[in-house]
Amino acid sequence: MYKLVLIIAMMSVWITAHSIQIEQEMALKTVYLAKQAINRAAHAAAQQLDSSALSEGELRIDEEQAKEVAMLYLQRNLHLNSQGEPLPASFLQNPVKLLVFDIVNAEQSFPYHYVNTAYQYEVWLERPAVIIIGNIIYPQMFRTISSIDWTLKGTAQMTYFND
């Protein structure tokens, strides 16, 4: 009889340990995919040239178009609707919050030291750039680890070629 109790106890310990491991692996995959989405959105936004400023020889990011493209990239990569809420196919369960969307344009002198003290983020920029900071909440499956709330940061500079 004691062997049966021991087997049941060991099975419950093994299942709990296995579910913790699976939960941690899924959390890491979630943060990896979300960070990639933030980086891609920042990169896409940084490539939106202001054509009227370019005709005058100035490299500027079109702010409206950059925000629109960044939101589209986040929606497509994270499977979100236009309000940032997850679609049924999304691996997320909670809305994604865009905390910061900053554009550093040509009115700054470069190299420019961008600092955001609210989110402890700083970066040196060599040319016009987009900074995105978003909040992602991990959707727990087994409830074996505590809730994880990430503040993910991404920066991309405008790319161009010097001849």
What confidence tier does 162 reach under pLDDT thresholds 50, 70, 90?
low
Structure tokens at 63: 């702010």
Provide mean pLDDT across the span 38-57.
88
Q: Is the predicted pLDDT of residue 16 greater than 60, yes or no?
A: yes
Q: What is the pLDDT of residues 52-89, one digit of tens each?
A: 887 787 888 889 999 999 999 999 999 999 888 888 88
- The shares of helix, strand and coil residues in the chain, as percent rounded to the nearest 5, are 40, 25, 35
pLDDT in the model for residue 1: 79
- Among 11-20, 62-71, 117-126, which stretch is predicted with the lowest mean pLDDT? 11-20
DSSP β-ladder status, 121-125 and 112-116: antiparallel
Residue bearing the bigger pLDDT, 138 or 74: 74
Torsion angles phi and psi, residue 141, rounded to 5 = -100, -50
Q: Is the predicted pLDDT of residue 131 greater than 60, yes or no?
A: yes
Q: Is the predicted pLDDT of residue 7 greater than 50, yes or no?
A: yes
Q: How far apart are CA 64 and CA 115, in angstroms?
A: 22
Provide mean pLDDT across the span 132-159.
85
Residue bearing the bigger pLDDT, 32 or 59: 32
Structure tokens at 107: 């009115």
Q: How far apart are CA 54 and CA 37, in angstroms?
A: 28
pLDDT in the model for residue 163: 44
Nearest to 63 by CA among 75, 44, 48: 48
Q: How far apart are CA 75 and CA 82, in angstroms?
A: 7
Query: Measured in Å, how far apart are the chain's first and last C-alpha atoms?
Result: 82
- Residue 12's identity, in one-letter code, is S
Q: How far apart are CA 102 and CA 84, in angstroms?
A: 18
Q: Is the pTM of this model over 0.75?
A: yes
What confidence tier does 146 reach under pLDDT thresholds 50, 70, 90?
confident
Average pLDDT, the chain: 88
Length of the chain: 163
Nearest to 134 by CA among 58, 53, 80: 80
